[in-house]
Structure 1
């Protein structure tokens, strides 16, 4: 019952979110899953590491697909997302926590910058 209520809340949160809030949720999800991948890797649970890396990859694909190509900066974002995607695949194949650390660092930077942009946009109107 509690699990069902939590799932309903989560679904409502996603379906009522603005596009900028959805992007923030994607960043937060990717960070959460990459942290879980690192824990699993340190515990030598390679199946779970793989599962978490795949989740990060799916989020990065979603971020790539959500870019509005009318803006030149989208090309830069696309290149960075693609880089993080390739590095996540490499980390998964090599079971390399340092690569996961690198990708996590980029994701945190993107997330934090995105949060600042959301605040600025809200304050400007």
Structure 2
């Protein structure tokens, strides 16, 4: 049950987002949870670190599940995502902030690349719509 206006807005945002926007939301969530996991490690709150790093792993697993294997790039992305999972798992097991930081770096780079792709795709669609 949704009580707060924020939760209602959040659900509406997800339901009305394009596939590109949803992908960016997943990356943002993975980055946010990994950073929260790093904060948990830094403050020695290992329960919070564990919870947040597991949430980041779940998002990466969703990214893997969403891959379209009809395209060759899916194989490369799969390897990257598997490496990210490795980093997140090891960061959690070893309570190693540097491994989590490396995961954030890669997630941020991927997010930025996808952000550009989404902008270009949206720009192309807008041009097409304007030329009709």
TM-score by length of 2: 0.91
Offset of 1:118 from its aligned partner? 0.7
SS in 2 for 1:70: coil
Distance 1:122 1:47 in 2: 41
Offset of 1:93 from its aligned partner? 0.2
**Is the counterpart of residue 10 in structure 1 residue 10 in structure 2?**
yes
Q: Where do 5+ consecutive residues of structure 2 fail to align?
A: 126-132
Equivalences for 1:102-113 in 2 at 5 Å? Answer: 102-113=102-113
Partner of 1:123: 123
Distance 1:20 1:87 in 2: 25
Distance 2:39 2:90 in 1: 17
Distance 1:15 1:68 in 2: 21
Offset of 1:86 from its aligned partner? 1.2
Offset of 1:124 from its aligned partner? 1.6
Partner of 1:96: 96
SS in 1 for 2:38: helix
Partner of 1:62: 62
Partner of 2:31: 31
Distance 1:75 1:109 in 2: 18
Offset of 1:51 from its aligned partner? 0.2
Offset of 1:5 from its aligned partner? 0.9
Equivalences for 1:74-93 in 2 at 5 Å? Answer: 74-93=74-93
Distance 1:56 1:33 in 2: 5
TM-score by length of 1: 0.96
**Which structure is larger by alpha-carbon Rg, 1 or 2?**
2
